Amino acid sequence: MDENSEQLSGATVTVSKDSTSTILAYGITNGKGEFKVELPGQEETVFLKISYLGYSSWKQEITDHDRQLEVQLSPSSEELKEVLVESRIIQQRGDTLSFSVSAFKDQKDRVIADVLKKMPGIEIMPGGQIQYQGSPIGKYYINNLDLLEGRYSLANNNISADDVSQVQILENHQPVKLLDSLEFSERASINIKLKNNVTTSGTAELGAGFSPLLWKVKVTPMIFTRKQQAIVTYQSNNTGSDVSREIRDFSITDFGRQEFSIQKRDWLSIRQLAEPPFSQERWLDNNVHLGSANYLIRLKNDVDLKTNISYLNDAQQQMGNTQTRFFTPTDTIDLVEQTSNDLFFNTLQSKFILERNTDDNYLKNEFEVNAHWDSQRGFIDTGNSEILQRLSNPFSVVRNKLRMLKPIGKQLITFRSNTGYTQARQNLNINPGQFEGLLNSEGVFAEVGQAVNSSTFFTDNSPGMIKKIKGVTITSEVGFSLQNKPL
C-alpha cells in the first residue's frame, strides 16, 4: 500500500539470502497490490525487498517463509546525477517470465543449454530432459514454433548462445489455444527467442587422435526464419559419447491421456555385463553414427507442416570378468567367467505432422514410422567351456494419431484417434546347448534356441464434447478401444 493505504500495482518484490546476495526469487504486485513469491530452495532466513518508483524501498529479514505481510511504502525523492540504462535481467508479464541471456552468459558458454543451467528454477537432467521447478517442461519452442516435438536436446545442445536474446518460461502453458480457458495446465514450457528474424546457427566439431585411432565429428547447421525452421545434423565418434541422447523423445501428450505404448520391448537378451559406477564416457567402447533432418514450414497462419527423420547406427563392445563364489556344506567353489559382447543398434525414426492451432480450430495429425534392426553377439569363457550367444532383435511400428477440436454453438466438439501396428521377431541361439538334464534327457546337443514373435494391432477412437457452465468445465466422451496382441 502507499501512504494513503491505497493498493500499489507493479511494485517489485525480490527475495535473496541477504542484502548483498544474488536474487533467489522475483515477483510483481498485481492490481490489488498483492504478491506471492515461491522459493525454489529451503533457506532458514531470507531477505525481502519491495521497491516502487518514487517511494522508499521496504526491507526486512524473514525467518518464516509461509506468512502474510502487509507493507506500506513511504514517498521519497532523490536527485539523480547519472542514469545508466541496462536491459532487465528478469521480466514478468502475466504467466510469462523472460530471462535475459546476456545477463547469465559468460565466455565459457557456447550453446543455449550452458546458459539454461544457470537460470533459476531450470534444471537439465543427465539424459537431457529439462525441468522447471522440479517438473518436466511441456513444450520447447524456438521463436514460438515447435519444430522438434519433444526431441529438443538437438536444439538445446547446438543453438549458439550468442544467437539468443531471451529465454521465456511460459508458466501454466496450455499448448492448445482452443482449450486455454477450458482446461487449466500446471505445466510450464520454454520459448527460445532469437535475436534476428533470420538466424543461421549451429555447431561444428572435428577431432582425431592416434594410438588407438579416435575420432569425433559433429556438424549441425540450422536456419530459422518466421515461416521456416530447419535443423540438420551428422554426428560420429568412438570416444564414448552417447549421441542417441540428442534424439530422445520427451513429449508429453497434449490431452494427458494414457496411450498404447509403441516402445521396443526386449523379450530375449544375451548375458549382459554390469555397468561400471562412473561416467559412461570413460567405459563406453562405441562406434556411432547419427544423421537427423528436421524441417518445419508454416503453410499459412497457424498451420504447420513438420518432418522429423533420424537414423542411428551404433556398434558397441563390452569386455569384462566376473567371479562368483559358492559356499556349500563341504566346499567353496569359485566360478570365473570372461565375457565379451558385441552390440549392434540400427534405428530409424520418422514422424510427419500436420497441425493447425488457432483460437477457433485445432487439428493435429501425426504419422509415425519407426524401425529397429538390432543384434547382439556374446562369448563366455568359463575355463572349462566356451559359450557363444547370438541374438537377432528387430522391431517395427507404424502409427497414426489424429486430434480434432471444433466449437459448434456453445459446445466444443472433440475427436481423437490413435491407430497403429507393431511387430517384433526375436531369435536367441546358444552354442553349445545348455541344461542337458532339463532339455535333452542328459544328452549333449549342439545348440539351444529361443524364438519370440509378437505383433500388436491397436486402435482407440472417441468423439466427445466439452462445455463450460458457470466456471465448471464438463467433459463427455464415448468411443471404442481395441487391442489384439498375439504372442
3-state secondary structure the chain: CCCCCCCCCCCEEEEECCCCCCEEEEEECCCCCCCCCCCCCCCCCEEEEEECCCECCEEEEECCCCCCCCCCCCECCCCCCCCCCCCCCEEEECCEEEEEHHHHCCCCCCEHHHHHCCCCCEEECCCCCEEECCEECCCEEECCECCCCCCCHHHHCCCEHHHEEEEEEECCCCCCHHHCCCCCCCCCEEEEEECCCCEEEEEEEEEEECCCCEEEEEEEEEEECCCEEEEEEEEEECCCCCHHHHHCCCCCCCCCCCCCCCCCCCCCCCCCCCCCCCCHHHCCEEEEEEEEEEEEEEEECCEEEEEEEEEEEEEEEEEEEEEEEEECCCCEEEEEEEEEEEEEEEEEEEEEEEEEECCCCEEEEEEEEEEEEEEEEEEEECCCCEEEEEEEEEEEEEEEEEEEEEEECCEEEEEEEEEEEEEEEEEEEEECCCCHHHHCCCCCCCCEEEEEEEEEEEEEEEEEEEEEECCEEEEEECCEEEEECCC
Mean per-residue pLDDT of the chain: 90
Indicate if 29 and 127 belong to the same structural domain. Answer: no
Cβ neighbours of residue 38 closer than 8 Å, sequence gap 6 or more:
25
Q: Are residues 184 and 125 in the same domain?
A: yes
- Indicate the range of 11-25, 246-260, 426-440 predicted with least confidence: 246-260
Task: Identify the sign of the CA torsion 237, 238, 241, 244.
Answer: positive
The answer to whether residue 226 is domain-embedded is: no
Q: In this structure, is residue 216 part of a structural domain?
A: no
Domain that holds residue 281: 253-484
Pair 46, 111 in one domain: no
CATH (domain of 156): 2.170.130.10
28-37, 123-132, 281-290, 327-336, range with the lowest pLDDT? 28-37
Q: Are residues 329 and 281 in the same domain?
A: yes
* Spatial distance between the Cα atoms of 104 and 23, rounded to a whole number of angstroms: 13
Answer yes or no: do 430 and 365 share one domain. Answer: yes
Is 41 a residue whose pLDDT tops 80?
Answer: no
Which one, of 122, 120, 126, lies nearest residue 140 by Cα? 122
Average pLDDT over residues 358-378: 95
- pLDDT of residue 374 exceeding 90, the answer is yes
Looking up cell 549421441, which residue turns up?
A: 243
Checking if the pLDDT of 255 tops 60, the result is no
With a cut of 80, say whether residue 22 has pLDDT above it: no
Task: Report if residue 107 sits inside a domain.
Answer: yes
Cβ–Cβ contacts within 10 Å for residue 342, how many?
16
pLDDT range class, residue 32, cuts 50, 70, 90: confident
pLDDT (0 to 100) of residue 87: 58
pTM: 0.76
| Rounded average pLDDT over 462-468 | 89
What is d(CA 180, CA 189) in angstroms, rounded to the nearest whole number?
Answer: 14
pLDDT range class, residue 193, cuts 50, 70, 90: very high
Q: Are residues 300 and 437 in the same domain?
A: yes
Task: List, as own/partner pairs, every contact residues 51-55 make where C-beta atoms lie below 8 angstroms and the sequence separation is at least 24, other chains included.
Answer: 51/11, 51/12, 51/14, 52/8, 52/10, 52/11, 52/12, 55/2, 55/8
φ/ψ of 57, rounded to 5, equals: -70, 145
What is the CATH classification number for the domain harbouring 39?
Answer: 2.60.40.1120
At residue 160, does pLDDT exceed 80? yes
Distance CA 88, CA 101 (A): 10
- Is residue 388 situated within a structural domain? yes
- 434/379: higher pLDDT: 379
Phi, psi of 129 (to 5 degrees): -70, 140
Q: Are residues 29 and 104 in the same domain?
A: no
Say if residue 367 is in the same domain as residue 459. yes
CA distance 159 to 220: 9
Domain membership of residue 229 (yes or no) is: no
Q: What is the pLDDT of residue 78?
A: 65
pLDDT score recorded for residue 257? 62
Residues 339 and 457 in one domain: yes
Which of these three, 58, 84, 110, is where a domain ends? Answer: 84
Q: Name the band, by pLDDT with cuts 50, 70 and 90, for residue 301.
A: confident
Residue 356 within any structural domain of the chain = yes
Report CA-CA distances (Å) from 78 to 85, 132, 184, 253. Answer: 17, 39, 45, 54
- Cell numbers for 290: 547419427
What is the rounded CA–CA span in Å between residue 136 and residue 252? 9
Contact 96, 171 (CB under 8 A): yes
What pLDDT, on the 0 to 100 scale, is given for residue 83?
59
63 plus 135 within the same structural domain: no
Mean pLDDT value across residues 169-173: 92
If one counts every other C-beta atom within 10 angstroms of the C-beta of residue 443, the result is 9
* Sequence letter at residue 58: W
Q: How far apart are CA 482 and CA 471, in angstroms?
A: 35
Do residues 52 and 127 share a domain?
no
Looking at residue 347, what is its pLDDT? 96
| pLDDT tens sequence across 63-109 | 766 777 888 888 887 665 665 655 568 888 888 999 999 889 988 99
On whether both 325 and 450 belong to a single domain, the answer is yes
Domain count, the chain: 3
CB crowding 370-402: b at 16 or more within 10 Å, else e: bbbebbbebbbeeeeeebebbbebbbbbebebb
pLDDT digits (tens, 9 = 90+) for 68-78: 788 888 888 76
* Last residue of one domain, picked from the residues 29, 60, 84: 84
pLDDT at residue 254 greater than cutoff 60:
no
Closest CA relative to residue 481, chosen from 265, 263, 257? 257
Contact 101, 153 (CB under 8 A): no
d(CA 289, CA 207): 15
Least confidently predicted of 46-55, 175-184, 251-260, 469-478? 251-260
- Report strand pairing: 135-136 vs 130-132: antiparallel
Q: List 209's β-bridge partners, or say none.
A: 214
Looking at 68, 84, 100, the residue that finishes a domain is 84
> Which band of pLDDT confidence, cut at 50, 70 and 90, is reported for residue 378?
very high
Computed over its alpha carbons, how large is the radius of gyration of the chain?
Answer: 29
In this prediction, residue 218 carries a pLDDT of 95
Q: Are strands 140-142 and 189-194 parallel, antiparallel or unpaired?
A: parallel
Q: Is residue 40 part of a domain?
A: yes
pLDDT at 2 over 90: no
Residue 461, domain member (yes or no):
yes
- Minimum mean pLDDT range among 134-143, 344-353, 463-472: 463-472
